[in-house]
């Protein structure tokens, strides 16, 4: 049986070198046939690894030195011509047959693993034949014939279906290893139940059996007679090396001249013992048999062909599913090392590790590229469904009605979804081909969970996971489409639609390969909520934070955009096209909800902190302005009930417009921040309603004392706090060391703003637009600025006098506005009613002031009349 799975290449080598040593035997009929057959099968023979010899020229050279061998030389030349013309075709057809045979064998054994026992010999025969063909192809591909023949050598030496043969070899190897116990159980029973009995009977039938031979045979019989399946179940380690050595001893002793027991005359005995030896190898020598019959470590020395075959397979969709064979073969490289040559172990090890890593990386990259192409197509189709594309359809309907008048045929726009209609099932679209290629490649990546190469373990799916995560992160940032030169950026709703389309495609990857796509989403999306991702690149959160703080809010400060309280958005006041973008398309609640969904609470916290940093910078500048007017402001504070002195002191104030402008900027930032916080709450109510309810419960029922922790938690969830913790933290970082100075500056800033409010009435753009519920120059945002800034400033001063100071502010502001009513100059009181409304807004938004307090300082009838006047004025203008 051991002769059944001997390498045919090895046999050819034996024949050629054997007959070269006893060349006079070539003339015999049987010897001549073997000689011709061996020479016609190839034009090179391996000496060691990738070292080969062109055998025909070598033989010719040898025969040239001998007389009377001209006929043999011409035979060798004919064999060479035959080899270069026919051998490639013959071996190609063998590979073709072996692909089918091994595939059917693997399918049968996968379905019925119990057949691995009785069909073991067939498996090893198939493996050795396939190994021979692969070795033949490698050697002959790397060493083309010295003289070109007429056959299609070049084509036949490039086998695009080779990965399939390699894969089926690996498949059989895996089956043998996986079900090794099935094979062991079968052959343990075979040895004890048949072989031992047959050997015992044959021993008894021997007429002559010397004592030494009898001892060997009895020992062999006893070694296999007592085997049991329980030993296999108990994972007992078998060792039949002694039995096999006894067989060698028996062959040696019975093959000498005048042996009492000539083995050549006992063919049945020799055949039985040879079969027993094979059966023992199936029990304790299985891994070595696998290496002997299917070791492909030769690829280590044909690395260029190995890599070329891999890339050829990667580019050939029909063979993609078999590509996993290449990284699996890297595990074979270890078997080509030798204890007597330890210095090459390191190089072979490094080679195998680098190649398996490169193969798995290339496979994952290709899968990632296919997925990316599908994602891009899905994003394009998703974009076609956006509401902005409805205008063309509406225009088509209108033009269709006017068709008779114009008599011009306008090409109709292709509606989304047309790509789903099919006329026949045979026509494959690009998407069909991509999905097919993805299926095949993912089959390969999913074929085995791990690949062991030397002491390392490689996980193919993790390569794909890492590539998808990196690609998804880059795609997220790419889809933002931020252009720092033109300040263009994608609308959050459009980005969200594209991200969802992308994620839907990635979710389907789980249908092809066992990979946790949710982990990809969590890792990538979580990184996009930070300032920088794991590669140090800007994230979605960072880009939108930059755009909203540096582009949108700067445009608002420039005066072309107004914050509308009833629309809850920033609205462009200029004609469309006057500024690069429409503010309402980026700042309404839908857009901010989409932004909150994209960057989550962490990203919104980053946006919040950035906005608070800008506010803190403005407050720092305000403190400098207050310090430069300190004496005047102290006088104004102490003489607030003396109109004449107040009027004279107010004239001495410097930078009044600057203070009002900075407070307006702060107010605009805070109003935008409030919109963002509301959007975050809307998103969290949908995503984590129970957790949000718990946070709200904490806020409403927190005990007296230090509430900073609860306030920070509430602020992070988008809930409104009396004193904003983020703003308080930013202002605290800029606070001076002297507490008294800080408190005095805060009080004087309050006075500065309170006495400066009436000056807003002179401004031409301070009129209140009732349709927007806001002033054209955004001074209504000052209400948020006054309540938040002073709440934070007096909190960090720690004197617990917030309400008293806010009452003082109300008294100062109301008295200043009441004096405005006594002015006779129409230029000074141009928009007096609009400014009155600011006082009402301050009280409405304040957590420290009430309407009763306002009524005690400022008659509400004036505010009511002011509302009537501004609404009437806008109606008269329209």
Q: Are residues 259 and 175 in the same domain?
A: yes
**Which of 281, 330, 275, 279 minimizes the C-alpha distance to 307?**
330
Q: Which of 80-89, 241-250, 820-829 has the lowest mean pLDDT?
A: 820-829
pLDDT at 170: 96
pLDDT at 149 over 70: no
Higher pLDDT, 56 or 428: 56
For residue range 170-179, list pLDDT tens digits in order. Answer: 999 999 999 9
* Alpha helices per DSSP H over 4-161: 8-21, 29-40, 55-64, 70-82, 88-111, 120-142, 153-156
Cα–Cα dist 80/78, whole Å: 5
pLDDT at 249: 93
pLDDT at 800: 80
For residue range 664-719, list pLDDT tens digits in order. Answer: 999 999 999 999 999 999 999 999 999 999 988 888 887 766 677 888 898 888 88
Cα–Cα dist 839/834, whole Å: 10
Mean pLDDT, residues 820-847 taken together: 82
The answer to whether 12 and 38 are in contact (CB under 8 A) is yes
Of the pLDDT bands very low, low, confident and very high (cuts 50, 70, 90), residue 740 is low
Q: What is the crossing angle of helices 540-547 and 460-480, to 10°?
A: 10
Among residues 473, 493, 527, which one ends one of the domains? Answer: 527
- For 544, the enclosing helix (H) or strand (E) is helix 540-547
Whole domain around residue 60: which residue ranges? 8-297
The answer to whether 607 and 548 are in contact (CB under 8 A) is yes
pLDDT at 878 over 70: no
Written as one string, the DSSP assignment of 764-798 is TT--EETTTTEETT-GGGHHHHHHHHHHHHHHHHT
Examine residue 341 and state whether it is found in any structural domain, yes or no: no
pLDDT at 151 over 70: no
Q: Are residues 174 and 221 in the same domain?
A: yes
Examine residue 306 and state whether it is found in any structural domain, yes or no: no
pLDDT at 96: 96
pLDDT at 372: 94
Cα–Cα dist 751/735, whole Å: 19
Phi, psi values for residue 46, rounded to 5°: -75, 135
Mean pLDDT, residues 306-322 taken together: 94
The answer to whether 116 and 183 are in contact (CB under 8 A) is yes
Q: Are residues 360 and 499 in the same domain?
A: yes
Mean pLDDT, residues 325-330 taken together: 96
Among residues 458, 493, 527, which one ends one of the domains? Answer: 527
What's the distance, Cα to Cα, between the start and end of the chain in Å?
Answer: 105
Cα angle for residues 447, 451, 453 (degrees, 5° grid): 155
Mean pLDDT, residues 801-809 taken together: 89
CA distances from 187 to 172, 193, 194, 438, 837 (A): 19, 9, 10, 42, 99
The answer to whether 93 and 137 are in contact (CB under 8 A) is no
Mean pLDDT, residues 644-672 taken together: 90
**Which of 177, 178, 179, 180 minimizes the C-alpha distance to 283?**
180
Residue 515, helix vs strand vs coil:
coil
Cα–Cα dist 261/254, whole Å: 6
For residue 147, give the DSSP letter: S
pLDDT at 836 over 80: yes
Cα–Cα dist 747/428, whole Å: 76
Of the pLDDT bands very low, low, confident and very high (cuts 50, 70, 90), residue 1 is low
Mean pLDDT, residues 714-741 taken together: 82
Examine residue 564 and state whether it is found in any structural domain, yes or no: no
Q: Which of 100-114, 115-129, 387-401, 757-771 has the lowest mean pLDDT?
A: 387-401
pLDDT at 281: 94
CA distances from 639 to 450, 628, 635, 636 (A): 83, 19, 6, 5
Q: Are residues 490 and 574 in the same domain?
A: no
For residue 204, the tally of other CB atoms under 10 A from its CB is 8
The answer to whether 100 and 166 are in contact (CB under 8 A) is no
Of the pLDDT bands very low, low, confident and very high (cuts 50, 70, 90), residue 274 is very high
Sign of dihedral through CA atoms 714, 717, 720, 726?
A: positive
**Which of 165, 160, 177 minimizes the C-alpha distance to 130?**
165
pLDDT at 739 over 70: no
Q: Which of 71-75, 203-207, 455-459 has the lowest mean pLDDT?
A: 203-207
Q: Are residues 508 and 622 in the same domain?
A: no
CA distances from 39 to 12, 297, 302, 495, 800 (A): 8, 26, 24, 69, 105
Q: Are residues 467 and 591 in the same domain?
A: no
Among residues 267, 297, 327, which one ends one of the domains? Answer: 297
Half-sphere exposure at residue 61, Cβ-oriented, CA atoms within 13 angstroms: 6
Q: Are residues 256 and 365 in the same domain?
A: no
Q: For the CA atoms of the chain, what is the radius of gyration?
A: 45
Mean pLDDT, residues 765-772 taken together: 86
Which residues 6+ apart lie within 8 Å of 606 measured at CB?
529, 530, 531, 541, 542, 545, 599
Pairing mode, strands 51-54 and 44-48: antiparallel
The fraction of the chain above a pLDDT of 90, given in percent, is 60
Examine residue 405 and state whether it is found in any structural domain, yes or no: no
Pairing mode, strands 569-572 and 561-564: antiparallel
Mean pLDDT, residues 287-299 taken together: 94
pLDDT at 737: 64
pLDDT at 148: 66
For residue range 844-865, list pLDDT tens digits in order. Answer: 999 898 898 888 888 888 889 9
Q: Are residues 223 and 363 in the same domain?
A: no
For residue range 550-571, list pLDDT tens digits in order. Answer: 999 998 888 788 999 989 999 9
Q: Are residues 319 and 286 in the same domain?
A: no
- What average pLDDT does the structure give for the chain? 89
pLDDT at 279 over 60: yes
pLDDT at 667: 94
Cα–Cα dist 840/836, whole Å: 7
pLDDT at 705: 63
Mean pLDDT, residues 230-240 taken together: 91
Examine residue 87 and state whether it is found in any structural domain, yes or no: yes
pLDDT at 824: 65
Half-sphere exposure at residue 640, Cβ-oriented, CA atoms within 13 angstroms: 22
For residue range 354-364, list pLDDT tens digits in order. Answer: 999 999 999 99
Examine residue 302 and state whether it is found in any structural domain, yes or no: no
Mean pLDDT, residues 816-826 taken together: 76
Q: Are residues 492 and 521 in the same domain?
A: yes
Q: Are residues 136 and 262 in the same domain?
A: yes
Phi, psi values for residue 564, rounded to 5°: -100, 120
**Which of 449, 454, 459 minimizes the C-alpha distance to 353?**
454
For residue range 454-498, list pLDDT tens digits in order. Answer: 999 999 999 999 999 999 999 999 999 999 888 899 999 999 999
pLDDT at 702: 77
The answer to whether 307 and 233 are in contact (CB under 8 A) is no
Its pTM stands at 0.86
CA distances from 123 to 23, 108, 288 (A): 36, 11, 14
Q: Are residues 513 and 610 in the same domain?
A: no
For residue 412, the tally of other CB atoms under 10 A from its CB is 11
For residue range 609-618, list pLDDT tens digits in order. Answer: 999 999 999 9
Q: What is the domain count for the chain?
A: 3
Cα–Cα dist 178/231, whole Å: 18
């Amino acid at each position: 049986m051991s002769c059944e799975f001997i390498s045919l290449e090895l046999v050819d080598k034996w024949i050629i070198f054997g007959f070269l040593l006893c060349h006079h035997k070539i003339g015999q009929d049987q010897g001549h046939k073997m000689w011709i057959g061996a020479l016609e099968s190839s034009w090179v023979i391996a000496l060691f690894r990738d070292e080969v010899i062109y055998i025909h020229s070598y033989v010719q050279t040898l025969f040239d030195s001998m007389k009377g061998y001209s006929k043999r030389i011409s035979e060798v030349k004919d064999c060479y011509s035959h080899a270069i013309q026919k051998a490639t075709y013959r071996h190609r057809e063998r590979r073709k047959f072996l692909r089918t045979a091994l595939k059917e064998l693997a399918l049968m054994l996968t379905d019925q693993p119990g057949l691995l026992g009785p069909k073991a010999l067939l498996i090893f025969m198939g493996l050795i034949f396939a190994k021979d063909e692969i070795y033949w192809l490698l050697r002959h591909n790397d060493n083309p014939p010295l003289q070109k023949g007429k056959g299609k050598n070049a084509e036949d030496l490039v086998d695009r279906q080779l990965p399939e043969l390699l894969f089926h070899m690996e498949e059989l190897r895996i089956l043998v290893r996986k079900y090794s116990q099935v094979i062991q159980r079968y052959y343990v029973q075979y040895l004890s139940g048949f072989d031992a009995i047959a050997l015992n009977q044959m021993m008894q039938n021997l007429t002559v059996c010397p004592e030494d031979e009898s001892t060997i045979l009895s020992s062999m019989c006893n070694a296999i007679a007592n085997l049991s399946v329980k030993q296999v179940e108990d994972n007992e380690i078998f060792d039949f090396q002694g039995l096999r050595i006894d067989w060698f001893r028996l062959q040696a002793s019975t093959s000498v001249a005048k042996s009492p027991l000539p083995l050549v005359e006992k063919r049945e005995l020799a055949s039985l013992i040879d079969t027993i030896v094979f059966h023992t190898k199936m029990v304790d020598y299985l891994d070595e048999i696998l290496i002997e019959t299917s070791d492909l470590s030769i690829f280590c020395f044909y690395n260029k062909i190995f890599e070329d075959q891999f890339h050829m397979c990667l580019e050939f969709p029909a063979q993609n599913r078999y590509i996993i064979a290449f990284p699996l073969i890297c595990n074979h490289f270890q078997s080509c090392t030798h204890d007597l040559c330890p210095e090459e172990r390191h190089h072979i090890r490094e080679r195998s590790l680098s190649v398996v890593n490169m193969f798995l990386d290339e496979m994952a990259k290709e899968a990632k590229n296919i997925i990316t192409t599908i994602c891009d197509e899905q994003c394009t189709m998703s974009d076609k469904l956006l509401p902005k594309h409805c205008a063309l359809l509406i225009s088509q309907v209108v033009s269709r009605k006017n068709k008779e008048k114009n008599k011009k045929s306008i090409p109709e726009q292709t509606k989304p979804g047309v790509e789903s209609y099919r006329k026949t099932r045979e026509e494959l679209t690009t998407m069909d081909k991509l999905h097919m290629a993805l299926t095949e490649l993912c089959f390969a990546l999913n074929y085995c969970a791990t690949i062991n190469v030397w002491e390392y373990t490689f996980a193919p799916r993790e390569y794909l996971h890492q590539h998808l995560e990196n690609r998804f992160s880059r795609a997220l940032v790419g889809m933002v489409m931020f252009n720092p030169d033109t300040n263009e950026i994608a609308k959050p709703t459009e980005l969200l639609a594209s991200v969802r389309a992308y994620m839907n495609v990635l979710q389907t990857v789980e249908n092809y390969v066992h990979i946790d796509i949710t982990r990809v989403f969590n890792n990538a999306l979580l990184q996009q909520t930070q300032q920088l991702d794991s590669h140090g690149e800007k994230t979605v959160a960072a880009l939108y934070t930059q755009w909203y703080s540096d582009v949108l809010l700067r445009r608002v400060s420039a005066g072309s955009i107004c914050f509308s309280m009833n629309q809850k958005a920033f609205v462009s006041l200029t004609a469309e096209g006057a500024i690069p973008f429409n503010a309402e398309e980026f700042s309404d609640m839908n857009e901010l909800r989409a932004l909150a969904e994209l960057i989550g609470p962490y990203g919104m916290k980053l946006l919040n902190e950035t906005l608070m940093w800008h506010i803190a910078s403005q407050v720092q500048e305000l403190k400098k302005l207050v310090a430069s007017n300190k004496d005047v402001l102290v006088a104004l504070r102490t003489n607030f009930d003396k109109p004449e002195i107040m009027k004279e002191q107010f004239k001495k104030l410097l930078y009044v417009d600057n203070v009002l402008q900075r407070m307006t900027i702060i107010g605009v930032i805070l109003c935008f921040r409030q919109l963002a916080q509301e959007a975050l709450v809307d998103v969290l109510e949908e995503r984590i309603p129970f957790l949000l309810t718990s946070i709200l419960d904490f806020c409403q029922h927190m005990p007296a004392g230090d509430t900073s922790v609860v306030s920070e938690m509430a602020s992070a969830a988008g809930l409104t706090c009396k004193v904003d913790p983020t703003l308080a933290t930013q202002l605290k970082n800029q606070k001076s060391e002297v507490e008294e100075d800080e408190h005095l500056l805060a009080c004087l800033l309050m006075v500065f703003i309170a006495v400066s409010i009436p000056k807003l009435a002179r401004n031409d753009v301070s009129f209140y637009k009732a349709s927007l519920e806001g002033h054209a120059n955004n001074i209504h945002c000052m209400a948020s600025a006054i309540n938040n800034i002073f709440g934070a400033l007096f909190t960090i001063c720690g004197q617990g006098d917030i309400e008293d100071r806010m009452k003082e502010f109300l008294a100062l502001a109301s008295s200043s506005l009441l004096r405005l009513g006594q002015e006779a100059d129409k230029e000074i009181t141009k928009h007096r009613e609009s400014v009155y409304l600011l006082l009402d807004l301050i009280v409405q938004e304040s957590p420290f002031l009430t309407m009763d307090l306002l009524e005690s300082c400022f008659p509400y009838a004036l505010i009511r009349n002011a509302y009537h006047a501004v609404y009437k004025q806008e109606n008269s203008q329209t």
